[in-house]
Structure 1
C-alpha cells in the first residue's frame, strides 16, 4: 500500500483544452519501483479495500492504471479515471 501512496504523491496534474488529469514521470520513480510493478499492485489490490484511499488518490491510481499502456500523447483524463474508480467502488463485497 505504501507504493501506491507514493505513486499518488508524485502524480503531476495536466490541463488541456480537451480535458484534465494526472500523469506520472517515470524519471521520478523508476529508480525506486518499476511501472509494471505499480500496475500489478493496482490490478491486484483488493477492490473492497479501495476505501482506504481518498477519492483523489483513487483518481490518481486509476489514471496510472489507464495510462500504463498508452502513448504519452494519449493520457487518460479525469472522466475516464472517474469511470474506473466507480467500477472499483461498485465491486461486489
Structure 2
C-alpha cells in the first residue's frame, strides 16, 4: 500500500475498528505521513473518532497526523444514493 502515491479510504468509521485494526490503521497512516497522499471519506465528525477506534489515544494520534497537512472538505446535504426513494415533504 505504501508504494502508491495516493491512497483513498472510503467510509472510514462505517464499522467499528477493534484494537488490532486500530493499531494497524495507525501504522498505515504513520507510514504515509509526510510522504504520500491519503484521502479519507467519513460521515463521522472528528470529535467522535474516539468512538470509531478502540483507543482514544490511538484515535488522537491518527487525527494528529491526518490533520497536520490536510485540507478538510465538508459536504452537507442529503444522500445522493437515496434521492430517488425519498419523497419531498408537502
Both structures adopt the same fold (TM-score exceeding 0.5) = no
Q: Compare CA radii of gyration and give the structure with the larger one.
A: 2
Q: With the length of structure 2 as denominator, give the TM-score of the two structures.
A: 0.33
Q: With the length of structure 1 as denominator, give the TM-score of the two structures.
A: 0.32
Q: Please identify which structure carries the higher helix content.
A: 1
